[in-house]
Structure 1
Amino acid sequence: MSYKTILVHADGTPQAEQRIRLAAQVALAHDAHLVGAAMTGLSRHTLPDGSIAAVGTPFPFDLRLLHDRADAALSQFTDCASRLGVPSIEARRVDDAADDGLILQSPYADLLVLSQADPHDHSNSLPARLPQTVMFHSARAVLLVPYAGRFEKIGKQVLVGWNGSASAARAVTAALPMLKRAAAVTVAASPQTGSHGRQTDVPGAELARYLFRHGVDVTLVAQDDDRRAGEALLDLAAASGADLLVMGGYGHQRLHEWLLGGATRTVLREMTLPVLMAH
């Protein structure tokens, strides 16, 4: 597997340039096509009065303001990606809500790049929920960039959070192109149980063998306290100088809200480095 199409959210926010720079770095490293997607923010089915329009019904008002805003975000994307030397780029304007637009495009990319929600924004707005909504519904893994800070490199020193779950396995698979290029990969493994409820001999040992067959050497580190797994992963990332964290994202939907697992909630709220996460 290799990355051939990277999809980055272009929205013109203060976090957009850092997000685009990181997406461009991944595209350059893997000779991938880079798509910048700007959604107008208007659902393709919803009318201004909140009613639902039939598919194909034209909107009865002027969309120029929304289109102008999306086009400005795409101009920022094109300028940034071109300046960084990405040879294959595409600016894509989509008349849709941000979450639906990204989710609908996700099957046609190898990786999605979004930004972490600002933890100081206590509103219940869609942007605050966008990372988790896209992660749980996307066909692909997401690379989340912290809302603050500057990240000049990614994928040289990688930390993998491993608990044997299906979501963790999907995250590792999605990260394989970067793991193969990494100078060092550390697996922080927590105890897990086998199919009959028996604990496996050495947490993470089977994953290490799997990755070795893909040409990836790893260092195993035991992670015992699963109750604070998110904090422990971020602490280990800081101590080891990791520039990328790979982990599964756990949660389930109750009514219209996602109930997040403890580690997922902590990392989404407190991340200090880019995180590749899959559900």
Structure 2
Amino acid sequence: MSYKSILVHLDTSESVHSRLELSLSLAQQFDAYLTGFFTVYRPEPGSFYVMAGNAEYLVEFEKRRHERQGALERLFRAELLRLKVAGEWQWSTEYANRCVPRAARLADLTIVGQYDADDPESFVAEQFVENLVLSSGRPVLIVPYAGQFHGVGSHVTIAWDGSREATRALHDALPFLARAKQVTVLTINAMSGEPPSSRIPGADIAGVISRYGAHVATQEIEGVDDVPIGETILSRAADLNADLLVMGCYGHSRWRELVLGGATRSILKSMTVPVLMSH
């Protein structure tokens, strides 16, 4: 079991090189075809003509963006050759929330970066990552903007509650799980509000994962009421020295807004390790 096609979203953010390095490493690991898909936020041109001088600013802004895009494309192609990774470069000026999910549907795994509020270039579209996970139908690996991640999947923590979303994420992550040195199935308040017969215990799903050759352990935490679930998951993943967190993404569309579950919002905001999410 493997990922044979990987898509990495590239932009002009400060963390893009870390994301590119990880995607190349994973493409090597899985012998996968790597597509670098470049797209950035582009403001409506008309919004710059309200004040005198803004038209010139827009021209200079686009020139700098074009130069950075060209440099990144040259680096991407050079790394493909150096590492002997098969792949291609694509780019689009279309709205990212339309073109990136469409491209992601053709890949086994999509890699994107976490939004960094201190780096304007990391913004490519409103709720970009959330929209991608909810609309692409494919697993999405989100890379934190802080830190270097040369490889992931050696020590995996699975946030498990027996739901459809968690089940989808777990099975989408099987190529990682089958290669992991250690997998921990983490359940938090898994039985609250429902009879035991209505959920799959962590031990049962651990048995399923172990059939793929992984060494699996379970941790069950009950009675967590005063700490947000997302924070508890991240804290326990850090205690376990996890280099990958796997979890379902809970959310739905409401008019023009995406409504996410509390744990999903918390993880996307505060993640410290790469997170594989599915919906």
Answer whether TM exceeds 0.5 for this pair. yes
Aligned twin of 2:76: 77
Distance 1:128 1:147 in 2: 17
Aligned-pair CA distance for 1:68 = 6.0
- Cα displacement string for residues 155-184 of structure 1 (whole angstroms, at most 9, x for unaligned residues): 101111001111111111111001000000
Consecutive unaligned residues of structure 1, counting only runs of 5 or more, are: 51-61
Alpha-carbon shift at residue 135 of structure 1 (Å): 0.9
Instruction: Tell me the amino acid that sits aligned with residue 184 of structure 1.
Output: Q
- Name the counterpart of 1:187: 185
Q: Matched residues in 2 for 1:275 and 1:164: separation?
A: 18
Residues 21-70 of structure 1, C-alpha deviations (whole Å, 9 max, x = no match):
11111111111111101136569xxx9669xxxxxxxxxxx9x9676664
Return the alpha-carbon distance in structure 1 between the equivalents of residues 8 and 151 of structure 2: 17
Aligned counterpart for 2:128 among listed residues 124, 127, 130: 130
Match of 2:52 in 1: none
Per-residue Cα deviation, 1:65-103 (whole angstroms, up to 9, x for no partner)? 6766644432232234444x1421211123422221111
After superposition, residues 1-279 of structure 1 pair within 5 angstroms as 1-39=1-39, 70-83=69-82, 85-120=83-118, 126-127=124-125, 129-192=127-190, 197-200=194-197, 203-224=201-222, 225=224, 228-279=228-279
Percent of aligned pairs with the same residue? Answer: 37
Call closer, same or farther: CA 1:42–1:128 in 2, change over 3 Å. Answer: closer
Preserved CA contact (<8 Å) 1:141 1:171: yes
The CA RMSD measured in Å over matched residues stands at: 3.0
Structure 2: 5+ residue stretches without partners: 48-58
Q: Deviations over 1:150-209 (max 9, x none)?
A: 112211011110011111111111110010000000010235469xx5214873122112
Q: How far, CA to CA, are the matches of 1:67 and 1:198 in structure 2?
A: 57
Distance in 1, matches of 2:182 and 2:29, equals 17
State how many pairs are aligned.
262
2:42 & 2:118 partners in 1: Cα distance?
Answer: 25
CA distance in 1, matches of 2:96, 2:68: 13
**Inter-CA distance 237–255: structure 2 relative to 1 (3 Å threshold):** same
Q: Which amino acid aligns with 1:77?
A: F
C-alpha contact (below 8 Å) 1:40/1:67 kept by paired residues:
no
Deviates more, 1:88-97 or 1:185-194: 185-194
Counterpart of 2:88, as a letter, is E
